[in-house]
Structure 1
Amino acid sequence: MFDRHFAVWPEGLPHQLKLPETSLYSNLEISALRYPDENAIIYYDAPITYRELKQQVDALAGELQHLGVEKGDRVMLFMQNAPQFIIGYYAILRANAIVVPINPMNRSAELEHYLQDTQASVCICSQEVFPHIEPLIGHERLRHVIVAAYSDYIHPQTDLELPAEVAAPAQPLTTAGTIAWGDALGAGHQPGELLVGPDDLAVFPYSSGTTGAPKGCMHTHRSVMATCVHGAAWRSGGGREGVTLSTLPYFHVTGMQGAMNGPIFLGSCIVLMTRWDRRTAAKLIERYRVTSWTNIVTMAIDLLSDPDVESFDLSSLENIGGGGAAMPEAVSDKLFKLTGLRYIEGYGLSETIAATHINPSEKPKKQCLGIPVFDVDSRVIDVDTGKEMGVGEVGEIISRGPQIFQGYWNRPLETQKAFIEIDGERFFRTGDMGYYDEEGYFFIVDRVKRMINASGFKVWPAEVESLMYRHPAIQESCVISAPHERRGETVKACVVLAADHKGKVSEDEIIAWCKEQMAAYKVPQIVEFRDELPRSPTGKVMWRAMQEEEWADQKKEA
């Protein structure tokens, strides 16, 4: 067991934590029993108590079972952050089913894959993304779509500026197979017996990789419980009395765990935003005395860039951190001056349902992944030989612990490749290259897998390439990262046009087409036409050489 980091372990915390032998739904049930009249959610000034939250979860779970959802079925959850996401998430679990959270930026072409892979018969979505799932009703097994309007949960007297999709009134539904959110909750169906426990599958956050198609990471109630309990224990923020500002998307594991499942486990309050807005965030921190805020670095930078930020009282904050990109030192210093807090960075993946490593709050290191948390054994190995590396030696980061996923849904070969056995124990291969220092802090330097990190959004080039090949003018495409002043890095596509389309289509037209086919964060910001792509002697496209060339050219220009 790797224990070098125990010398800097947070004072008063045990090295191991015993996890509850219950389902995630039980966390809500217990909090509603303990604190029925306390606020579970505040959504743009509209409060929802734990009693109300549980009642609505149970009502929706009953409707899901009435629609035929059975134990182990997958149900798609396709919307932005809102009370309906939380209700939908826990209702799916209460119906003994598995949550499939889908990025609301996805379009119909991308949704086809999720339906084929999960064979979901029901989707819960919001009305602004409904047009993308509507044409797929009847595709694969999808038969029912429950559609929600965020405005149903808005406080009529709020003075907060609302995003357009939040302010929009509910629209009538005419498509066969659709059910309005209010009708689903008002149908009066009660759920049957809760049949799932800690070792049943609970949620499939989707990751991707070199094969292009997103893969469902199979997480049990126990593995999800692990990082939700670990995060609550590791971070200060008032415990049950704490207040969490939720700005990270819930379909992503960091937001899901740190700002939804964690607070519900504690029975604390979630102050919820659908879309990021720095002025609204500052008002909410001040108004509701927010104690904890997990974010991506670009959000923290944006908040601190507000010329009026010092006019807001942010003194209630006790914990602020996250990841997604390196925190600039100047911004970190401004944060400390304003709040007295250091930005606490952590590290995790969809396969680990959030953090395996977090910086100790009393001794954080800048631009550092942190140290392995409770019950996590993390090592660094040689990519080719599997040999363990020593202090300061770069290799692939591997981890084992209670939060590690069971494998990839429907992909046994890729599951097998994702693990390695050392000392009789099964370790997950993260695909990230890094090292640890003398004190056991881990640092990342590169990736084994192809991945672009654009403002915290993970873009898998092979997936973007696969979608681009649907364009009739594209003969070949190679997607690489390019430097970007604000996002850190962004998506660039090097394209070889088919002979009969050369001179007939522009780079901008390719980008416009991509915007219609894929989530906005995946869309190439740069398209470069080439006569051919460089290849190795075996015929493989040399993407890494192209990417290194791109970054080298930018450095020369700088």
Structure 2
Amino acid sequence: MNPNHFEFWPPLLSKTLTVPKTTLYDNLVISAKKYPDKIAIQYYGQAYSYKRLLKEVEQLAGYLESELNVKKEEKILLFMQNSPQFLISFFAILRLRAVVVPINPMSTTKDLTFYVQDCDIRQALVGQELYEKVIPLKEETSLKNLIVASYSDYMDTEKARENLPPELTAPSNALTEDTSWKDALNTTRQAAAYTGEDEDVAMIPYTSGTTGLPKGCVHTNKTVQANTVGTSHWMNVTADAVILTTLPLFHVTGLIHSALAPLYSGSTMVMMTRWDRDYAAKTIEKHGCSNWINISTMLIDFLSNPNLVNYDLSSLKAIGGGGAPLPEAVGEQLYNRTGLRYIEGYGLFETISQTHFNPPNRPKLQCLGIPSFDVDARIIDLVTGNELGANQEGELVVNGPQVFRGYYKRDQDNRESHIKIGEKKFFRTGDIVKVDEEGYFFIVDRLKRMINAAGFKVWPTEVESVLYKHHAVQQACVVSAPDAKRGETVKAFVILKDEFIGKVTENDIIEWSKEQMAAYKYPRILEFIESFPTTTSGKILWRELQKNS
């Protein structure tokens, strides 16, 4: 491992981190003891203290154990959007030493069938608006018991008179077969004494399945705790921090940075169920949000809001994120508006969020950052497996305390996704990166996403970063398109800024791009589009666009 990055390590921060033996559930108990009356969650006009949060976790755990007979290591489906009920469910499951299986709320019934069968799931905690997707599974799979939560039960509909989507404001529906959230919390039974250990499996988040069937990533309290505590230190998440929670909590980045690290530190989370740029700006001003981890597409939308000038954003002290590199032009726009530099990071489901993070005091744009606490990150040649040096492109492999135990029931995948270098075992990320002389890592692209244009390698991320410099481009996504002569060629989908619609043509941008990049890289095809298909975490579904190319 190149040690050059330690020269730029955040000042006053130790270069190694001892991961606590305590568990994630212990974190909540300790914060509730330290700050019982402090607000843990602000949710659409309602405030929830740490004491109340822990009380409801205990109530739900008592129901799960006494009425549903939930046992240690049992897998429990958590199928819910951001809400207090999501976190109460998460910790109630851990309270029983059971395993959280958090699933994307955009999943279909067919998707859910796979997850339930893969983990032999009997119980699920479900958002009311998602209930109809889950009901068929009771007839077709091992799933037997559902607890159904209505988000409106936890919000103040009088104070939150915004144009909120109906799934937030819908009252609780009467249930004939399954259990309502309110009924589950009415139990008087207390769960047995907690005896959790750091090596207990805590959760199994699933990869998105972009290269095949989704794979469950087995994480223990210890692996999740490594990034929970690491985030708290790296981003200076104190008890007085106010976190804007907009990333979905089923996703590892949102869970770690917008929930688990704040709860570990005793911070306040201002939680949004659905992304809304006006509501986010209003929330920052009203609650004095200091920290916001997001994704580049979310920040692009936020900054393109013409009403943004009407809000006071001065409380913000740290903004960052990952998932996709932030275009340089957007980073400069953020700096000009807030005086803050965007702090990018890099991670995977397999590493429960970050293995790399930019130093907050010295970040670089469009950069993964430097290896986080105790992470050994190397770049290897795609053919030989030999370790590469500065400015050479190869596959990123990582070893660190946050790396998962392995894929659930996927022995062959586990063998193929790891490599031994010396006496160390490394996880193969599948991402093509390079490292500069200062030890900062930069993504080139996903190994699977490379475009082979007449024998030349074209990385879509590089082309996208150039397109973002055009004054009319709001968002860009580059994919491959079939070409009779070149085999594959470069195609760009572009969302124009509102003021340039009808004033700039596709050919205008193609001609401009010819002057900005090598002849084999510039887009031969360019198509304007009104919106991109995205995941709930905001990642652009480039494969969906490529299908139409």
TM normalised by structure 2 equals: 0.82
Kept after mapping to 2: 8 A contact 1:209/1:450: no
Q: 1:366-445 to 2 correspondence within 5 Å?
A: 366-445=365-444
Q: Does residue 1:10 correspond to 2:10, yes or no?
A: yes
Q: 1:108-507 to 2 correspondence within 5 Å?
A: 108-161=109-162, 162-174=164-176, 176=177, 178-208=178-208, 212-237=212-237, 239-449=238-448, 483-486=492-495
- Mark the CA change 1:300 to 1:64 in structure 2 (over 3 Å): closer, same or farther: same
The letter of the residue matching 2:220 is: T
Distance in 2 between the 1:121 and 1:65 partners? 13
Kept after mapping to 2: 8 A contact 1:105/1:520: no
User: For each residue in 1:218-270, what CA deviation from the matched residue of structure 2 results, as whole angstroms up to 9, or x when unmatched?
Assistant: 00000000111111111135x11000000000010000000010100001100
Q: 1:504-515 to 2 correspondence within 5 Å?
A: none
Kept after mapping to 1: 8 A contact 2:348/2:354: yes
Distance in 2 between the 1:59 and 1:97 partners? 16
The letter of the residue matching 2:222 is: R
Distance in 2 between the 1:139 and 1:22 partners? 39
The letter of the residue matching 2:269 is: I
Q: Does residue 1:56 correspond to 2:65, yes or no?
A: no
Kept after mapping to 2: 8 A contact 1:342/1:364: yes
Distance in 1 between the 2:269 and 2:189 partners? 27
* Cross-structure match for 2:512: none
- 1:16 is displaced (CA, Å) by 0.3
Distance in 1 between the 2:219 and 2:322 partners? 22
Kept after mapping to 1: 8 A contact 2:157/2:169: no
Query: What SS does the corresponding residue of 1:129 show, helix, strand or coil?
Result: helix
Kept after mapping to 2: 8 A contact 1:395/1:433: yes
Q: Does residue 1:90 correspond to 2:99, yes or no?
A: no
Of 322-331 and 259-268, deviating more is 322-331
- Mark the CA change 1:520 to 1:11 in structure 2 (over 3 Å): closer, same or farther: closer
- 1:485 is displaced (CA, Å) by 2.1
Query: What SS does the corresponding residue of 2:359 show, helix, strand or coil?
Result: coil
Kept after mapping to 2: 8 A contact 1:346/1:357: yes
User: For each residue in 1:91-113, what CA deviation from the matched residue of structure 2 results, as whole angstroms up to 9, or x when unmatched?
Assistant: 11001100000000001011110
The letter of the residue matching 1:301 is: I
Distance in 2 between the 1:208 and 1:154 partners? 31
The letter of the residue matching 1:221 is: N
- Mark the CA change 1:220 to 1:173 in structure 2 (over 3 Å): closer, same or farther: same
- Superposed CA RMSD in Å reads 2.4
The letter of the residue matching 1:149 is: S
Structure 1: 5+ residue stretches without partners: 455-460, 462-479, 488-514, 529-549, 551-558
Kept after mapping to 2: 8 A contact 1:210/1:450: no
- 1:410 is displaced (CA, Å) by 0.6
- 1:522 is displaced (CA, Å) by 8.9
Distance in 1 between the 2:111 and 2:31 partners? 37
Kept after mapping to 2: 8 A contact 1:408/1:414: yes
The letter of the residue matching 2:173 is: Q
* Cross-structure match for 2:29: 29
The letter of the residue matching 2:440 is: Y
- 1:209 is displaced (CA, Å) by 5.0
User: For each residue in 1:411-435, what CA deviation from the matched residue of structure 2 results, as whole angstroms up to 9, or x when unmatched?
Assistant: 1111111111112011111010111
- 1:210 is displaced (CA, Å) by 7.0
- 1:331 is displaced (CA, Å) by 2.1
Query: What SS does the corresponding residue of 1:16 show, helix, strand or coil?
Result: coil
Kept after mapping to 2: 8 A contact 1:74/1:99: yes
The letter of the residue matching 1:110 is: D
- 1:163 is displaced (CA, Å) by 2.2
Aligned residues: 473
- 1:367 is displaced (CA, Å) by 0.5
Kept after mapping to 2: 8 A contact 1:19/1:225: yes
- 1:195 is displaced (CA, Å) by 2.8
* Cross-structure match for 2:100: 99
Kept after mapping to 1: 8 A contact 2:396/2:431: yes
Distance in 1 between the 2:304 and 2:81 partners? 25
Distance in 2 between the 1:422 and 1:197 partners? 30
- 1:65 is displaced (CA, Å) by 1.2
Query: What SS does the corresponding residue of 1:124 show, helix, strand or coil?
Result: strand
- 1:332 is displaced (CA, Å) by 1.5
Of 187-196 and 362-371, deviating more is 187-196
User: For each residue in 1:299-320, what CA deviation from the matched residue of structure 2 results, as whole angstroms up to 9, or x when unmatched?
Assistant: 1111111112122111110100
Distance in 1 between the 2:297 and 2:325 partners? 9
Distance in 2 between the 1:370 and 1:25 partners? 30
Distance in 2 between the 1:382 and 1:49 partners? 51
Kept after mapping to 2: 8 A contact 1:210/1:449: no
* Cross-structure match for 2:454: none
Distance in 1 between the 2:491 and 2:85 partners? 37
Of 322-331 and 339-348, deviating more is 322-331
The letter of the residue matching 2:25 is: Y
Kept after mapping to 1: 8 A contact 2:379/2:397: yes
Kept after mapping to 1: 8 A contact 2:295/2:322: yes
- 1:150 is displaced (CA, Å) by 0.3
Query: What SS does the corresponding residue of 2:259 show, helix, strand or coil?
Result: helix
Query: What SS does the corresponding residue of 1:302 show, helix, strand or coil?
Result: helix
* Cross-structure match for 1:468: none
- Mark the CA change 1:163 to 1:101 in structure 2 (over 3 Å): closer, same or farther: same
Distance in 2 between the 1:48 and 1:315 partners? 25
Kept after mapping to 2: 8 A contact 1:17/1:374: yes
- 1:160 is displaced (CA, Å) by 4.6
Kept after mapping to 2: 8 A contact 1:346/1:359: yes
- Mark the CA change 1:522 to 1:235 in structure 2 (over 3 Å): closer, same or farther: same
Distance in 2 between the 1:69 and 1:109 partners? 25
Of 445-454 and 11-20, deviating more is 445-454
Distance in 2 between the 1:78 and 1:172 partners? 19
Kept after mapping to 2: 8 A contact 1:209/1:449: no
Query: What SS does the corresponding residue of 2:434 show, helix, strand or coil?
Result: strand
The letter of the residue matching 2:119 is: T
- Mark the CA change 1:193 to 1:336 in structure 2 (over 3 Å): closer, same or farther: same
- 1:450 is displaced (CA, Å) by 5.7
